[in-house]
Amino acid sequence: MILKGIITLIIFIIAPFLLGLLITHFLEKEKNNLLFAILVGYLVELAICQLISVPMIFMEKSFIFLFKTYVIIIGILMIISIIVNRNNFKEIFWATIKGFKGLPKILSAVCIILIAFQIYMFVAYTHIDDDDAFYVGSITTTLQTNTLYKYSPTTGALGGEQTDYRYMLAPFPLFMTIVSKLINMHPDIVSHVVFPIFILPVIYSVYYLLAKELFDEDIKSAMSFVALINLLNIFGGYSVRPASAFLLFRIWQGKAVFANLMMPAVLLFILKANKNDYKFLYCILIIILTLASNLTTTMAIGLIPIEIVVIFFTLEFYDFKIKKFLINMIKAIICSMPSLIYGLIYFL
């Protein structure tokens, strides 16, 4: 159990932190931002999984081959990050401590209690979702058969729903399978308990970072915003359709991660890119986000470019200059390229 706990912390905290630092190290404004680094790290993990898993599905490689390839790539990137950031860890630590001291105590306590309550509900209770027959079933099938989307998770047949391109091009269950394999824990436990414990704070971190952008670094307003989002989510179960229901009923499914993590992150990244005139690394961040989104659901193929374009046009018209507009528009289109490529694969 101790070993599983250590591996879990490495997967969900240390690895994302180190992977995120590989990019934030070169962003002066985000260099010491712990929350932003962890967010970027999660996106890098998902983006790498998307890049290597889709080709391996079509080439009919084994799961063990995918697993070893993914672990090696992540391991190498973590080692590179440690080397690159070896002199920065102390600075990040003290910047994080300083940031915590600057938080409003009462509002912070309210947010922590609300998030802890939601995590407690995942740990103490179990929501049985019908779609788990496919999503969690896919994880179990992959582990048991050592194949990638070859056998149906519901019938065990060679030909079935798993061969639909909307699943093969967005293999989020494979990421969860890798996590289950690393922790050596049953997919049901990883999906219903372990994953929500860590992904919920990351999701609310996105809202906190987004609020800081919207409220011009006003920490009190940002924490109030996060507290409000918490309450809206907790009381958002009026239907099975809203993002709130997907967050608290089935966050282990890719489409729930897309709705609650990826879509707010797009707004956050576009705001940061716009403030920094779409510099190269900010465009790379959006491309990584686009890849990570495509892993979660094929809906991202259409929705992410639409969201990027809508936010881009909205922000550009505040300070419209034709030359700047055209250059940044080209950059925004390039940032959407992963979705466009997967869209061509889907239709052609």
- Alpha-carbon distance 172 to 295, whole Å? 5
Q: Which residue type does 159 have? A: G
Domain ranges of the chain: 2-347
Mean pLDDT to the nearest integer, 24-41? 91
Percentage, residues of the chain above pLDDT 90: 66
Please return the burial class of 76, using the count of CB atoms within 10 Å of its CB with bins 0-12, 13-18 and 19+.
exposed
Confidence grade of residue 327 (pLDDT, cut at 50, 70, 90):
confident
Whether 301 contacts 346, CB under 8 Å: yes
Q: What is the pLDDT of residue 1?
A: 84
pLDDT tens column, 39-58: 999 999 999 999 999 999 99
Whether 261 contacts 236, CB under 8 Å: no
198 CA to centre of own chain: 11
- Alpha-carbon distance 193 to 77, whole Å? 28
Mean pLDDT to the nearest integer, 167-195? 93
* Of 58, 287, 43, the residue nearest 168 (C-alpha): 58
Q: What is the pLDDT of residue 57?
A: 93
Encoding tokens for residue 290?
A: 């686009």
DSSP, res 81: H
Q: What is the pLDDT of residue 102?
A: 85
- Alpha-carbon distance 299 to 301, whole Å? 5
pLDDT tens column, 280-298: 999 999 999 999 999 999 9
DSSP line for 142-174: HHHH--SS-S-TTT--SSSGGGSHHHHTS-HHH
Q: Note the pTM of the prediction, 2 decimals.
A: 0.94
| Sign of the dihedral through C-alpha 183, 185, 189, 192 | positive
pLDDT tens column, 118-174: 999 999 988 888 888 888 999 999 999 999 988 988 888 887 777 788 889 999 999
Q: What is the pLDDT of residue 160?
A: 77
Q: What is the pLDDT of residue 101?
A: 85
**Helix residue ranges per DSSP H, the chain:** 2-9, 15-24, 34-58, 63-84, 89-101, 105-124, 132-145, 165-168, 172-183, 187-189, 195-214, 219-234, 243-250, 254-257, 263-275, 280-296, 299-316, 322-335, 337-347
- Alpha-carbon distance 34 to 25, whole Å? 11
Q: What is the pLDDT of residue 9?
A: 93
What are the start-end ranges of the E strands in the chain? none
